[in-house]
Amino acid sequence: MTRVLVVAESGIERAGLEALLAREPAFSVVGRAARTDGDATLAQQIDELDPDVVVVAVAGEGDDGAPETPVESLARLAGDARAALVLLGDGGPEWVADALRAGAAALLPRDASPEALLAAVSAAAAGLVVLLRPAATALVTAAPTAAAGRAARADATQGQELTPRETEVLRMLAEGLANKQIAARLGISDHTVKFHVAAIFTKLGAGTRTEAVMLGARRGLVVV
């Protein structure tokens, strides 16, 4: 059975998603959360509930037109727990590209059909990536622009220095240690390790642990 954690700001939306998922005997909703609870609370729930899939309804759009939910933060939280991330939102092609790069398994519009959502959760749990055709077409069309945007963000973060603790964590990532092993070695919580890893990714402009290690090596922070 696929274990699903539902995350949405609106209680009504959470209830609707739970009711929809309950229609499928192969799914079990193991918990629910709001993004306003904070990353630490969500990380704790993911750790405790051990979902296979995290379904997140993106809160909406900010003043600049970008979804307010920090997609990369969500993807990393889910990725640390090896849970597939299904996002429901209305961002543009660059947002889709960033979410996929961060590790999201499925991206659907907020008004996606029940059938599409259930299929996306099943596919994500099976290790597949899901996009509706319009999003995939827009993503391919906008690929050069999205790539330029990522390059600009990478340039903006290039000068940020890691703290001594972040450097220490990065070196342990280079050793191939998991979060729990890093936490035990440093005498800190798993959640604190996750936040250090997220900060490392942001400062190095990395999307994965391997990429972070390689970028750190280029800066002379680690030896690989």
My answer on whether 35 and 145 are in the same domain is yes
My answer on whether 170 and 121 are in the same domain is no
In a domain, 109, yes or no: yes
Is pLDDT larger for residue 138 or for residue 1? 1
My answer on whether 9 and 120 are in the same domain is yes
pLDDT category, 155, cuts 50, 70, 90?
Answer: low
Number of domains present in the structure of the chain: 2
pTM value is 0.60
HEC-encoded secondary structure of the chain: CEEEEEECCCHHHHHHHHHHHHCCCCEEEEEEECHHHCHHHHHHHHHHHCCCEEEEECCCECCCCCECCCHHHHHHHHHHCCCEEEEECCCCHHHHHHHHHHCCCEEECCCCCHHHHHHHHHHHHCCCCEECHHHHHHHHHCHHHHHHHHHHHHHHHCCCCCCHHHHHHHHHHHCCCCHHHHHHHHCCCHHHHHHHHHHHHHHHCCCCHHHHHHHHHHCCCCCC
Domain carrying residue 171: 158-218
In a domain, 223, yes or no: no
pLDDT digits (tens, 9 = 90+) for 8-45: 888 899 999 999 999 899 999 999 888 666 767 787 88
User: If we measure between CA atoms, which residue out of 3, 88, 103, 18 comes closest to residue 52?
Assistant: 3
Mean predicted lDDT score pLDDT of the chain: 81
Q: Above 70 in pLDDT, residue 144?
A: no
What six digits make up the tokens of 78? 């889910």
Among residues 150, 180, 195, which one ends one of the domains?
150
| Residue 86 contacts residue 108 (beta carbons within 8 Å) | yes
Among residues 129, 150, 171, which one ends one of the domains?
150
My answer on whether 131 and 167 are in the same domain is no
Q: How far apart are CA 88 and CA 83, in angstroms?
A: 16
Q: Above 60 in pLDDT, residue 137?
A: yes
My answer on whether 28 and 123 are in the same domain is yes
For the domain that residue 165 is a member of, what is the CATH number?
Answer: 1.10.10.10
My answer on whether 145 and 163 are in the same domain is no
Among residues 119, 150, 181, which one ends one of the domains?
150
My answer on whether 15 and 110 are in the same domain is yes
What six digits make up the tokens of 162? 């890691």
My answer on whether 31 and 133 are in the same domain is yes
My answer on whether 105 and 14 are in the same domain is yes
pLDDT category, 150, cuts 50, 70, 90?
Answer: low
pLDDT digits (tens, 9 = 90+) for 73-131: 676 666 666 788 888 887 777 777 777 877 788 989 888 899 999 999 999 999 898 98
My answer on whether 174 and 192 are in the same domain is yes
Q: How far apart are CA 163 and CA 177, in angstroms?
A: 19
For the domain that residue 13 is a member of, what is the CATH number?
Answer: 3.40.50.2300
Q: How far apart are CA 108 and CA 73, in angstroms?
A: 18
My answer on whether 85 and 186 are in the same domain is no
In a domain, 224, yes or no: no
My answer on whether 139 and 197 are in the same domain is no
